[in-house]
DNA sequence: TTGATTGCAAATATTTTGCAGGCAT
DNA sequence: ATGCCTGCAAAATATTTGCAATCAA
C-alpha cells in the first residue's frame, strides 16, 4: 500500500541524520502519495489542512532535504519549474499532463549509447540527459473537448 | 556570415510590428551571434558595453518579444532556467555544456511515433517533448582535467 | 504626429536567511 | 542535555508594472 513508500522515505531521511518531526511527516505523506506534480505552495496548503501550524518556510526546507536525499526531483515544464515529484527508481522518463500536472514514469529505452555518440560528434562528454513528454491525460482530454 | 541572421531577426521583428530601436538592435546582435546560453543579466552587461544607456528592464522586454516571435527559446537546466538561446529551425534538440553554457543543436531522430505510443499506453495525448543532453564541451573537459 | 518604447523607481513574486524558542534524539 | 528544526520576520533575488519622456514610423 501507499504508506509503505511513506515509511521508506521517513526511514531514509532518518538514516541520513534528519530528525523526524511532525511537519516532516506531514510533508513526506503528501509528496509520497501524490500522483501530480506539486509546488511548494501547493504542498503548503495541503500541509496546513492537516496541521495548521506548519509554515511555508518549513515546506521549502523539507523539500530541499527530500530533494538532496534523492526522494523527489524538481520537474521542469515550459510554464514553470517549481514543481516536485517522487523520483524514479531506475532510468525512467516522465510523461506529464500540462493541464492538471498528473505525471507518469515510462521506461527509458537505453538511448545512452546514441547520446554518447552525438556528444562525441561535437567533442562533448555527455553526462546526463532529460527526456520528457508533455500532453493531456485522459481526464483533461475530456475536459478540453467539453469546453 | 553572422550578420545575416541578425538582419533576418530584425526584419522579422519589424514585420511583427515592433519598432527597431537601438536597444533592440544591440540585443538582437548579442543573441543572434551567441553560441552560449545567455541569461537576461548577461545580455544586459554585454549590451551595456555597447550602449551604456540600456537598462535591464529593456533587456527583459526585448527578450520577451524575441521569444514570442520564435527567435529564441528559454532553455531549462538542472541549475536554472533563466537562459535563452537562438531557436532551432526544424526539429532539433540541444546539447549543452553545463560548465560554460556552450550549446549545439543536433538532429532529432523522428522519435515522435515512439512518443505517441507511450502516451497512448497511459491514455495521454502527447503534444510536445523535451530532449536535452548535458555534458562538458571540449574546452571545459580540458579545464576539468587540469584542475 | 502618434503611439510604441525606453529607463527609472517601485511593486510583485519567489526563495533564502537570522534568530529565539521548541523538540527529537 | 545537545543541537537540529520550527516559525516568524526580514532580506535577497528575479521579474513585472506604472509613468513621464523619447523616438521610430
Identify all chain B residues contacting A95, using CB atoms and an 8 Å cutoff: 118-119, 122, 124, 126
Tens digit of each residue's pLDDT (9 = 90 or more) over A62-121: 999 999 999 999 999 988 999 999 999 888 899 999 999 999 999 876 788 889 999 999
pLDDT at residue number B144: 81
Q: What is the 8-class DSSP label of residue A53?
A: T
**What is the pLDDT of chain A when averaged over all its residues?**
94
Report CB contact under 8 Å: A119, B76: no
- Find out whether A88 and A105 touch, Cβ atoms under 8 Å: yes
pLDDT at residue A147 is higher than 90: no
| Percent residues over pLDDT 90 in chain A | 85
**Residue where the block lists cell 513528454:** A133
pLDDT at residue number B106: 95
Identify all chain A residues contacting B121, using CB atoms and an 8 Å cutoff: 106
Residue B134's alpha-carbon distances to A76, A127, A141, B10, B14, in angstroms, are 15, 6, 33, 31, 35
Report CB contact under 8 Å: B127, A115: no
- Find out whether B119 and A95 touch, Cβ atoms under 8 Å: yes
pLDDT at residue number B116: 94
Q: Which of residues 28-87 of B touch strand C (CB under 7 A)?
A: 51, 53-55, 57-58, 61-62, 65
Nearest CB to A118 within list B95, B114, B137: B95
Which domains does chain A possess? 2-84 (1.10.10.10), 88-146 (3.30.1490.190)
Nearest CA in chain B to A118: B106
Q: Mean pLDDT per 10-residue run, chain B (147 residues)? A: 90 98 98 98 98 98 98 94 94 94 89 91 96 96 86
- The helix (run of H) or strand (run of E) holding residue B2 is helix B2-15
Residue B51's alpha-carbon distances to B19, B48, B55, in angstroms, are 18, 5, 10
Nearest CB to A137 within list B106, B124, B131: B124
Task: Cite the DSSP H helix spans in A34-88.
Answer: 40-50, 56-68
Q: Say how far B122 CA is from C8 C1', in Å.
A: 52
Residue A28's alpha-carbon distances to A23, A25, A59, in angstroms, are 8, 5, 10
Q: Say how far A61 CA is from D9 C1', in Å.
A: 17
pLDDT at residue number A9: 98
pTM recorded for the entire structure: 0.93
Amino acid at each position: 500500500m501507499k504508506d509503505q513508500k511513506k515509511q521508506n522515505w521517513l526511514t531514509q531521511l532518518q538514516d541520513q541524520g534528519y530528525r523526524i518531526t511532525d511537519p516532516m511527516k506531514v510533508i513526506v505523506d503528501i509528496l509520497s502519495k501524490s500522483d501530480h506534480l506539486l509546488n511548494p505552495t501547493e504542498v503548503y496548503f495541503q500541509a496546513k489542512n492537516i496541521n495548521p501550524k506548519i509554515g511555508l518556510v518549513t515546506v521549502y526546507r523539507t523539500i530541499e532535504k527530500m530533494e538532496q536525499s534523492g526522494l523527489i526531483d524538481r520537474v521542469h515544464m515550459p510554464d514553470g519549474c517549481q514543481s516536485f515529484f517522487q523520483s524514479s527508481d531506475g532510468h525512467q522518463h516522465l510523461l506529464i499532463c500540462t493541464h492538471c500536472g498528473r505525471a507518469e514514469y515510462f521506461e527509458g529505452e537505453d538511448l545512452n549509447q546514441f547520446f554518447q555518440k552525438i556528444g562525441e560528434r561535437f567533442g562533448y562528454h555527455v553526462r546526463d540527459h532529460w527526456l520528457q513528454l508533455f500532453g493531456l491525460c485522459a481526464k483533461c482530454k475530456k475536459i478540453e473537448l467539453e469546453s
